[in-house]
Every structure is written in structure tokens, then in C-alpha cells.
Amino acid sequence: MLARNAVVALWLTAAALGAAAIGEGWRFVLVLLSRNGALPRGVVAFSDALVVTAGVVSMLSAAASITVGVLWVVYARWMVAKATGHIPARTTRQVVLGLIAPMLNVVLAGSVLAELEHSAGGRSAADRPRPSRLLLGWWASWVVGQALFGIALLNSFDGSVQGMANGIELHLFADLVAVVVAVTGAILVNRITTLLEPIDADAMHRLRVVKVINAPEPQLRPVRPLGSLR
């Protein structure tokens, strides 16, 4: 249930961030066009409404994604510990702080997920976790997104026209990177959940052979006389 809700929230976040990126791109085009003259009020108002609405929706869905995602990580670690009998090296408090604490989660979020992926894959606790390419991609985009967010926050104090134009570009790139974070995060949650809870074979739709075309005739068993020894 937690995995399903986290995936839905992440895909909703990706969609909202994609709309926000489109709005920021449109706003940047309007800034370029405004150098040659005034723009229609309706066009500018619609652009602002799109950016604000998509931003609010993405913030709410991102908060839901983080909340459900942290609960999923905590519960998944508990399932791995129960299945393997190994006590995790990090406490639940350390894991939660490593996932939500600013600056700290830049380093620890990837480490926590790498340890979870390592344990969920049935690897030995004595081996060093080696993140998959999917996890490395998520981790890299997570770090880049955090960096862009910090740069955009610092740029917001620049009230000049050039600073506003730079802010639009930074928000555009930040939204695009955040889309990658959300999409790869949803895929990662699905992959680790599948490792922890494989699909029940009884719940799968079994395939049935309906017709065979151009197949050789099967070899029949030889006919044995009645009473012959076998």
C-alpha cells in the first residue's frame, strides 16, 4: 500500500513539475518578447497562473511523496531485517533524518537507499553495497536538483531584470531535474518493492495455447500387442 501510494504521488509530482517547467519556459519566451514591446495582459496573466498553480500542486504532491516515501523506506527496512535476521546499522531516527534533513539528505539519502537495495536483493550483509545504475541516476539527479534549488534561492535576492531572467532559467532547469528525480524514484520504489514482495504466481493470468500452426505431428507411442511384456 505504501509503495503504491508513493508511486502515485511521485508520478503526480512529475506531471505537476512538467507543467511548471512548461510554464517557466513560456515565461522565459515572454521575457524575450517583451524587449520589443508590451505584451497582452491576458497572455501574461495566464502564464503566471500556470506557473503558480503547477508550483502549488507540485509542492503539495512532493510533500506527500516525501512523507509516504519515508514511511515506505522505514517499513521496507523493517521487512528486510525481519526476513534476513540482520539488524540495520542505522537506526530509524538516523534514516528519517538522513532522508528529510536539508543538506544532510544530499549524501545520506542515496546511502540509505543503496543499503536498502543491497539488502532487498538478497546480498550478503558483509559485502559493500553497490548501487544500481537506476539508483545512481536518481542520486545524481537528486544532488543536482538540490544544488539548483540552493542557487535559485540565492538568486531570488537579486531584484534586477537580469536576476529575474536568471531566476526563470534556474527554475526551469530545477523543474526538469526534479521531474527526473520523481520518475526515477517511482521506478526505484517499484523495483525494490518487487524484490521484497515478488508477484504471487496464483494471482497471475496463466497463458493458454489456443492454436498451433505449421507444427510437426507429434510422435505417437508404439502400439503394443495385448499381453506383451513392458
What string of DSSP letters covers 46-73? HHHHHHHHHHHHHHHHHHHHHHHHHHHH
Listed in sequence order, the residues at least 6 apart from 152 whose beta carbon sits closer than 8 Å to its beta carbon are 167, 170, 171, 174
For CA atoms 133, 134, 137, 143, give the dihedral sign: negative
pLDDT digits (tens, 9 = 90+) for 43-68: 778 888 888 898 899 999 999 999 99
Q: CA-to-CA distance for 30 and 47, rounded, in angstroms? A: 9
Report CA 191 to chain centroid distance, whole Å. 10
For CA atoms 153, 155, 159, 161, give the dihedral sign: negative
pLDDT digits (tens, 9 = 90+) for 14-49: 999 999 999 888 888 887 777 776 777 777 788 888
What's residue 162's pLDDT? 75
Q: CA-to-CA distance for 214 and 227, rounded, in angstroms? A: 37
Q: CA-to-CA distance for 191 and 119, rounded, in angstroms? A: 13
Instruction: Say if residues 98 and 90 touch (Cβ distance below 8 Å).
Output: yes
- The residues spanned by each domain of the chain are 2-197
pLDDT, greater one: 38 or 108 = 108
What's residue 35's pLDDT? 72
Q: Tell me which residue has cell 546480498.
A: 123
Q: CA-to-CA distance for 201 and 112, rounded, in angstroms? A: 31
Report CA 93 to chain centroid distance, whole Å. 23
Q: Compute φ and ψ for 227, nearest 5 degrees.
A: 90, 0
